[in-house]
């Protein structure tokens, strides 16, 4: 127990060995979370998560290094000019600044909101990197366990719950507006209530199509892929997907 405490005490120090270990641990943890996104071909994958965790770790290491320098070699100069260092400042900026990466995974050209899980994962990966950089190992390992469970174990349960939900959001691309009647009629025959209907023209000239997006409430627990397959078989439907 004493030797374990000594090892942990050494790992909490700031030197070249512990800095290398922290950066390596951040890269490995970020990669583990990113691997699941990579397998699902999501916007941000293996390398994105690795770099996010590494960058966050680096900001804390830099902050800790500056704090040590201001209280050590640079102390006299710092006191003479009144320079102070808030250790948490860099970390707070890193967690805040990750927003632009998250936005990049969410925005797409088809007016759809996708990639929220990836964006949330990137933000959590950055925070994980901050904890590792600060040498808060116990918290980091607990977080990586929970994050891995969220990414790997919960999707099948989530899929089962959403696959037969009463509420569905559909994005539909059709050749001409005339084809919309058959789709609405089919849904009406199934006693499906449609609301939040929006239509946008896709492209220009003779190749133009129409992108329809709407929400619907199903009368009973219908299998979503089954309903989408029925609609995709109708005339004029180019592309249909649940959003």
**Alpha helices, DSSP H, located in the chain:** 2-11, 16-39, 46-70, 75-81, 87-97, 99-106, 116-133, 137-148, 154-163, 180-189, 224-232
Find the length of the chain: 243
pLDDT for position 48: 82
> What mean pLDDT is predicted for residues 29-36?
84
- Mean of the per-residue pLDDT values for the chain? 80
> What mean pLDDT is predicted for residues 95-104?
79
Per-residue pLDDT band at 109 (split at 50, 70, 90)? low
pLDDT for position 204: 65
pLDDT score of 232 more than 60: yes
Please name every residue paired with 198 in a beta bridge, in sequence order, or none if there are none: 213
pLDDT for position 168: 87
pLDDT for position 18: 85
Compare 223 and 88 and report the one with higher pLDDT: 223
- In whole angstroms, give the CA distance from residue 211 to residue 239: 9
pLDDT score of 22 more than 80: yes
Of 144, 237, 121, 137, which Cα lies nearest the Cα of 182?
Answer: 237
Per the structure block, which two tokens stand in for 92?
Answer: 């707070």
State pTM to two decimals. 0.63
> What mean pLDDT is predicted for residues 19-34?
87
pLDDT for position 87: 60
Per-residue pLDDT of 163-221, as tens digits, reads 778 888 888 888 888 888 888 888 888 888 888 888 888 766 667 788 888 888 888 77
pLDDT for position 226: 86
pLDDT for position 85: 60
pLDDT score of 60 more than 80: yes
């Amino acid at each position: 127990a004493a030797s374990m405490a000594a090892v942990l005490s050494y790992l909490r120090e700031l030197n070249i060995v512990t800095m290398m270990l922290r950066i390596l641990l951040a890269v490995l943890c970020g990669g583990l979370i990113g691997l699941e996104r990579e397998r699902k071909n999501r916007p941000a994958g293996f390398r994105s998560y690795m770099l996010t965790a590494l960058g966050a770790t680096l900001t804390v290491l830099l902050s800790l290094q500056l704090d040590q320098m201001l209280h050590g070699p640079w102390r006299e100069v710092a006191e003479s000019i009144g320079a102070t260092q808030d250790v948490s400042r860099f970390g707070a900026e890193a967690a805040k600044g990750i927003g632009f990466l998250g936005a990049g995974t969410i925005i797409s050209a088809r007016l759809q909101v996708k990639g929220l899980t990836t964006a949330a994962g990137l933000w959590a990966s950055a925070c994980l990197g901050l904890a590792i950089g600060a040498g808060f190992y116990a918290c980091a390992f607990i977080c990586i366990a929970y994050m891995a469970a969220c990414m790997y174990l919960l999707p099948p349960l989530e899929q089962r719950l959403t696959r037969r939900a009463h509420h569905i959001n559909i994005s539909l691309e059709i050749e001409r507006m005339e084809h919309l009647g058959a789709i609405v009629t089919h849904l009406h025959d199934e006693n499906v209530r449609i609301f939040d209907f929006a239509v946008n023209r896709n492209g220009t000239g003779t190749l133009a199509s129409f992108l329809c997006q709407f929400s619907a409430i199903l009368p009973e627990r219908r299998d979503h892929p089954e309903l989408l397959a029925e609609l995709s078989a109708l005339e004029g439907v180019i592309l249909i997907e649940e959003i």
